[in-house]
Structure 1
């Protein structure tokens, strides 16, 4: 059984992968019809060493304004939790 609060369904493909440096994905939301109909988006993760720190740049591109609006609300939560996980070893689960 799936827990709707934590379930999401995406389709995608790895377009480019440079371990430790870059990952480029093509993806589409499969669980919201309005976003599925928006077609494919492209998400790029670039990792850059900065002395003892690391800079992560996430670039998510789509021609669909509703899609970009939807993912733009999610990325701050995802990246904040990633930062917390890396710094403390735990995250605050966000269900909505």
Structure 2
């Protein structure tokens, strides 16, 4: 649903145990809210107790914190 939604599937090719879980889905959705923009990220896999979701979930707070800082100040807080 351009330009407000980007969705894709992907698979971890580097760790065999995560590759075996198959493809994950991820979507980014932008929504105007009271003069600002709300970003919703949905990331999942059709598998209970997914090691992949457990592995990537720790990275989202860092990525989003840096995105917020970059948009507000032009600089990231937490280097890669």
Give the C-alpha shift of residue 35 in structure 1. 1.1
Alignment partner of 2:64 out of 54, 65, 79? 79
CA offsets, 1:18-63, max 9 Å, x none? 11x1011101111122111111000011100012210000000112
Q: Report the count of equivalent residues.
A: 77
Q: Give, in angstroms, the shift of residue 77 of structure 1.
A: 0.9
Structure 1 segments of 4+ aligned residues over 4 angstroms from their partners: none
Within-5 A mapping of 1:7-46: 17-19=1-3, 21-46=4-29
Hey, what's the Cα distance between the residues in 1 that align with 2:67 and 2:79? 11
Q: Take 1:52 and 1:66, find their aligned partners in 2: how far apart are those partners?
A: 38
TM-score (norm 2): 0.87
Task: Give the deviation of 1:84 after TM superposition.
Answer: 0.8
Segments of structure 2 that go 5 or more residues without pairing to the other structure are: none
